[in-house]
Amino acid sequence: MQETTRTIQLAPSLMTMDLDQFKEQISFLNNKVNLYHIDIMDGHFVPNISLSPWFIEQTRKISDLPMSAHLMVTDAPFWVQQLIDVKCEMICMPAEVSNGVAFRLIDQIHDAGLKAGMVINPETPVDTLLPYIDLLDKITVMTVDPGFAGQRFLAGCLDKITQLRQLREEKGYGYEIEMDGSTNKAHWKMIADSNPDVYVIGRSGLFGLTDNIESSWQQMVSEYEECTGFKFDNGR
């Protein structure tokens, strides 16, 4: 019997969608998912270049869902201001380059009425966030090396999710915990056991399952339920 008490949030990574089916896929997902995950890469922090604040503006023409920007950039202050200008609801910065500007950027985001998050890459420990963890609205744990879709899943990173959940319960912090990287049939059970609040899902877990977004969605739900023992419930 499937348990029905756990609700998750699902955030499709729009970098991995089929751009030739952009409107069709977004229109379908608008009624299915909780928010959209927008990867912004500068070609320096990671070797790839992807999406931009302009992409958020274009997506808003066909969606009212919240946008969560995942910055993979070396110049965080520049990109934070760009995202504030387009009123991106959640701005998640790379912890690895935020030392020295973290408090200022978090305050800047909050002063604009938006939410502030941090992302930790596989080699980055949770302790890096401790000086300002109480100010964060979300913490994203990377379970793959960042920058490209299809990277190897790093199961050891799931321990950080467990650590962050325990810390939140002990200290009463308010951040959400998000995992990002290779969310698919091979890893649903491990990920569910670590129990993040938000699942970022991309090509291997959704967009690449079939050539049709509706059938891909149905297959994703079926695989989630089969692997985890939970009935799929994201509150929509």
* Digit-coded pLDDT (tens) for 47-85: 566 778 899 999 999 999 999 999 989 899 999 999 999
What integer pLDDT is reported at residue 40 of this predicted model?
92
What is the sign, positive or negative, of the torsion defined by CA atoms of 82, 54, 174, 133? negative
What integer pLDDT is reported at residue 150 of this predicted model?
60
For residue 175, being part of any structural domain is answered with yes
- Residue 48 sits in a domain of what CATH number? 3.20.20.70
* Digit-coded pLDDT (tens) for 134-152: 999 999 999 998 766 667 8
- Of 227, 147, 222, 145, whose CA–CA distance to 191 is shortest? 227
What integer pLDDT is reported at residue 151 of this predicted model?
72
Q: Which residues are annotated as a binding site?
A: 37, 39, 70, 147-150, 180-182
What integer pLDDT is reported at residue 148 of this predicted model?
62
For residue 77, being part of any structural domain is answered with yes
For residue 3, being part of any structural domain is answered with no
Q: Which residues are annotated as a binding site for substrate?
A: 70, 147-150, 180-182
What integer pLDDT is reported at residue 1 of this predicted model?
43
The Cβ of residue 127 has, within 10 Å, a number of other Cβ atoms equal to: 10
For residue 48, being part of any structural domain is answered with yes
Helix/strand/coil for 92:
strand
For residue 2, being part of any structural domain is answered with no
Cα(79)–Cα(93) distance, rounded to whole angstroms?
Answer: 9
For residue 234, being part of any structural domain is answered with no
Give, rounded to a whole angstrom, the gap between the first and last alpha carbons of the chain.
Answer: 22
Q: Going by DSSP bridges, is the β-strand pair 36-42/49-50 parallel, antiparallel, or unpaired? A: antiparallel
Looking at the structure of the chain, the number of domains it has is 1
For residue 159, being part of any structural domain is answered with yes
For residue 155, being part of any structural domain is answered with yes
Q: Mean pLDDT of residues grouped by 10 in the chain (236 residues)?
A: 76 90 95 96 66 90 97 92 97 94 98 98 97 98 79 92 98 98 94 97 94 96 95 94
**Which tokens hold the place of 164?**
């962050």
Active site residues: 39, 180
Residue 167: which domain range?
9-228
